A and B are shown apart, each in its own frame.
Chain A
């Protein structure tokens, strides 16, 4: 806004900062906005890219169920796990049917947030927003932690460094996404297929060997490090319905990521809805097959989870199925590699989903606007950073243990399912299109079942960390609502005053004041800018707190011959902000009084310019007393008055203009040169006291000049 004099800018153009150079070196060249293409994915690629989060959940779902069951149900756990898996598969079927309708109806942008927003209004939708945002954060943590478990299962030596490795992976994902990893999206399709193929073959080979009767079995009750196994022979022995519910809630983590297709529906080729529906079907089928298979193999092999989290159940199964021959071990390593890859890739899904959803919610004015900004490489950088910080914090708190993370998990996921299911149920009950009844019931039961899971989770897992989510959830929803209220109130005021305010700014008298604390480059620059506003009167104002300092300033002013009047205002109680506010009010009323006497129409206006020497951000925090901001805030509350802070980067100007000179002398030299410019450009603003009597009035000489501009 402030035009710089040409002679102070020797290189022409703006200088680049060191920070930007670093950013460029790290992240690559900036992408131009028009390069933002919406790449459309073919069905196989879309399955590979969008489903890692979902498919990979099968790697830990069964393990989490067993983790809860074994201590109470003993070896019977390996039987009880089957009906629980069946119930989870039932939810999977219902939610798949539900999401198949979602992708058919909402083909532009989808997901439970949009479903909830369209069917329940934006306020209820914030529940879905919070659920999904929490879900994304926990997904990053769970997936990357589980990926590390897959690595540690194959190489137990890595075990002790689990937390470091997991956080390292998250940071790497963050870096990759800031760089714009989406471009390499196709490469992400590979792990999905690799994983489906490898775990699929584990299951198939396992079942064949079982049928042939030569599949060996673990005896976890004799192993060291396995979770404690109860001695009962079934649930009757002290174990209660609560254990089953807890196990069921844990198993719910198998379904996470199901919503990914509907979130990414816009990435599909035309016909979007139909393609997305097919891919969703294939994905849900794959997931169902894998979850059922892993649970079945756990049933027959008695692979039990370890307290330390590794080796995982799924890796024990693979080891047993492929045997201990060299070939078998090679296959085992491939399975582990595929698991680790897909789990890490699944973590990456959140890096696409979270920033996108956050920007979407922010565009609905429920989250701060910063989240809608695309960064250096066109990714939503702020969202990516927020996600990284939150998930790393979560990993540190839980020690990157999948089992400790799961309580945080399913509440978010299943709240999302609930919103989608109930939202679609409402959609159908309102529209009543032909054949709506079965769809309505499917969605309603899916939604209610998911809501039940949320309740089970909140109760059964309350003490293990779910309470954090239970507490955090309403707080976050309230915060989002509060933010929205602020934004809406602002919009309402804008609607009311907008037109009027824009047209009313026709000042018959406009005084510009530059608040100065000393004669420096910043002040001189502000004076130059102030004159360019063509004010009725331009005055430099100093609020006197220290008489000596004010005296010095006045003498410097006279010595330098600066032509702008300098007003020194006593501020005996040192309340600078109040003094400034009163000064502006008084100026306005004086202008109005003199306009009344002149019979002039139009309004009086005051603009206050606050020159500010700006420093590097870090140094600035220390050197600034922020009084300019406070003054600006007070003045912004006064009608017809405006405050403008004029930053001036003194240091970089000095470095540019006189490299290698001592600072003090230079600043003075530059002040004097600018002062010359000011003297030249001065056109003599009319004042009341130019001549005896001053009957012309203060504003009259400048009036025609101002109107012609």
Chain B
């Protein structure tokens, strides 16, 4: 489903970041504490009044993980196309690899 070129592109960016501690998403397992490094492919704003969440799908070339922040409608720098290193506990609600309220670190902005 995912184009070969895209996987390749993401692979390169991952390598460029030079983050030896990062785990490939495909190797992450449920309940692991993981350290993932990738690109944000999409950001979702879920405005449920007080219980609103901000979600981001992070792609590292091997798989995708969803990051969920509660109570936020915006996090500066968490935008599609940005490079991110995140840490947190992985769990899989409805089979979907997810990290709730991860620690995150922004890498160089796109083109910079």
A interface list, Cβ under 8 A from B: 539, 544, 547, 550-551, 554-555, 557-558, 561-563, 565-570, 572, 582, 585-586, 589-590, 593-594, 596-598, 684, 687-690, 692-695, 697-698
B93 touches A697 (CB 8 A): yes
A563 touches B48 (CB 8 A): yes
A690 touches B48 (CB 8 A): yes
Asked whether B55 is an interface residue with its Cβ less than 8 Å from the other chain, the reply is yes
Asked whether B80 is an interface residue with its Cβ less than 8 Å from the other chain, the reply is yes
A379 to B73, CA, bound (A): 60
B80 touches A692 (CB 8 A): no
CB distance from B93 to the nearest CB of A (A): 4
Q: Which residues of A contact B73 (CB under 8 A)?
A: 558
Q: Which 4 A-B pairs have the closest CB atoms?
A: A570-B80, A694-B93, A569-B42, A567-B44
A547, A558, A565, A597: the one contacting B44 at CB < 8 Å is: A565
20 CB < 8 A contacts A-B:
A544-B81, A547-B79, A561-B47, A567-B43, A568-B42, A569-B42, A570-B39, A570-B40, A570-B41, A570-B42, A582-B1, A582-B3, A684-B48, A689-B68, A692-B100, A693-B91, A694-B94, A694-B98, A697-B94, A698-B94
Chain A residue nearest to B80 in the complex (CB) = A570
A690 to B51, CA, bound (A): 7
B3, B45, B95, B98: the one contacting A554 at CB < 8 Å is: B45
Asked whether B46 is an interface residue with its Cβ less than 8 Å from the other chain, the reply is yes
Q: Which residues of B contact A594 (CB under 8 A)?
A: 94-96
CB distance from B64 to the nearest CB of A (A): 9
Interface bits B51-71 vs A (CB < 8 Å: 1, else 0):
101010000000000001000
Q: Which residues of B contact A590 (CB under 8 A)?
A: 96
Chain B residue nearest to A581 in the complex (CB) = B1
CB distance from B56 to the nearest CB of A (A): 9
B1, B41, B100: the one contacting A585 at CB < 8 Å is: B1
CB distance from A519 to the nearest CB of B (A): 13
Scan residues 1-54 of chain B and give those whose CB is less than 8 A from a CB of chain A.
1-3, 39-49, 51, 53
Q: Which residues of B contact A547 (CB under 8 A)?
A: 79-81
- With A582-B2, A594-B94 known as contacts, the answer to whether A689 contacts B81 (CB < 8 A) is no
B55 touches A586 (CB 8 A): no
Q: Which residues of A contact B49 (CB under 8 A)?
A: 563
Chain B residue nearest to A596 in the complex (CB) = B95
Q: Which residues of A contact B3 (CB under 8 A)?
A: 582
B94 touches A688 (CB 8 A): yes
A547 to B45, CA, bound (A): 15
CB distance from B83 to the nearest CB of A (A): 12
B45 touches A689 (CB 8 A): no
B47, B48, B81: the one contacting A557 at CB < 8 Å is: B47
A551 to B41, CA, bound (A): 15
Asked whether B74 is an interface residue with its Cβ less than 8 Å from the other chain, the reply is yes
B45 touches A566 (CB 8 A): yes
In the complex, given contacts A566-B45, A598-B94, A693-B93, what are 7 additional A-B residue pairs having Cβ atoms less than 8 angstroms apart?
Answer: A563-B47, A566-B47, A568-B42, A568-B80, A569-B41, A689-B93, A698-B94
Chain B residue nearest to A565 in the complex (CB) = B46
Q: Which residues of B contact A558 (CB under 8 A)?
A: 45, 47, 73-74
A570 touches B81 (CB 8 A): yes
Q: Which residues of A contact B79 (CB under 8 A)?
A: 547, 550-551, 568
A597 touches B94 (CB 8 A): yes
Q: Which residues of B contact A561 (CB under 8 A)?
A: 47
B42 touches A565 (CB 8 A): no
CB distance from A184 to the nearest CB of B (A): 65
CB distance from A296 to the nearest CB of B (A): 83
Q: Which residues of A contact B39 (CB under 8 A)?
A: 570
CB distance from A76 to the nearest CB of B (A): 82
A156 to B58, CA, bound (A): 86
Residue with the highest number of chain B CB atoms closer than 10 Å, among A544, A594, A684, A689: A689
A565 to B94, CA, bound (A): 19
Q: Which residues of B contact A689 (CB under 8 A)?
A: 46, 53, 55, 68, 93, 98, 100
A594 to B48, CA, bound (A): 23
Q: Which residues of A contact B55 (CB under 8 A)?
A: 689
A546 to B46, CA, bound (A): 21
B1 touches A550 (CB 8 A): no
Q: Which residues of A contact B98 (CB under 8 A)?
A: 688-689, 694
Chain A residue nearest to B9 in the complex (CB) = A572
A532 to B55, CA, bound (A): 25
A604 to B45, CA, bound (A): 23
- With A585-B1, A688-B96 known as contacts, the answer to whether A544 contacts B80 (CB < 8 A) is yes
Chain B residue nearest to A589 in the complex (CB) = B1
CB distance from B107 to the nearest CB of A (A): 15
A596 to B2, CA, bound (A): 21
A689 to B73, CA, bound (A): 14
Chain B residue nearest to A568 in the complex (CB) = B43
Q: Which residues of A contact B94 (CB under 8 A)?
A: 594, 597-598, 688, 694, 697-698
Q: Which residues of B contact A589 (CB under 8 A)?
A: 1
A557, A585, A597, A692: the one contacting B95 at CB < 8 Å is: A597
CB distance from A144 to the nearest CB of B (A): 61
A569 touches B95 (CB 8 A): no
A697 to B46, CA, bound (A): 17
A222 to B2, CA, bound (A): 88
CB distance from B100 to the nearest CB of A (A): 7
A557 to B1, CA, bound (A): 30
Q: Which residues of A contact B48 (CB under 8 A)?
A: 563, 684, 690
CB distance from A664 to the nearest CB of B (A): 25
Chain A residue nearest to B109 in the complex (CB) = A547
CB distance from A681 to the nearest CB of B (A): 15
A646 to B60, CA, bound (A): 36
Q: Which residues of A contact B45 (CB under 8 A)?
A: 554, 557-558, 565-568
- With A688-B93, A689-B53, A689-B55 known as contacts, the answer to whether A572 contacts B43 (CB < 8 A) is no
Q: Which residues of B contact A554 (CB under 8 A)?
A: 43, 45, 74
A164 to B42, CA, bound (A): 65
B44 touches A568 (CB 8 A): yes
Chain A residue nearest to B56 in the complex (CB) = A568
Chain B residue nearest to A567 in the complex (CB) = B44
A551, A586, A694: the one contacting B1 at CB < 8 Å is: A586
A555 to B80, CA, bound (A): 15
Chain B residue nearest to A693 in the complex (CB) = B93
A593 to B64, CA, bound (A): 14
Chain A residue nearest to B42 in the complex (CB) = A569
A527 to B45, CA, bound (A): 15
- With A550-B80, A692-B100 known as contacts, the answer to whether A562 contacts B47 (CB < 8 A) is yes
Q: Which residues of B contact A562 (CB under 8 A)?
A: 47
Q: Which residues of B contact A692 (CB under 8 A)?
A: 100
A684 to B74, CA, bound (A): 21
A594 to B94, CA, bound (A): 5
CB distance from A318 to the nearest CB of B (A): 81
Q: Which residues of B contact A567 (CB under 8 A)?
A: 42-45
Interface bits B93-107 vs A (CB < 8 Å: 1, else 0):
111101010000000
Q: Which residues of A contact B74 (CB under 8 A)?
A: 554-555, 558
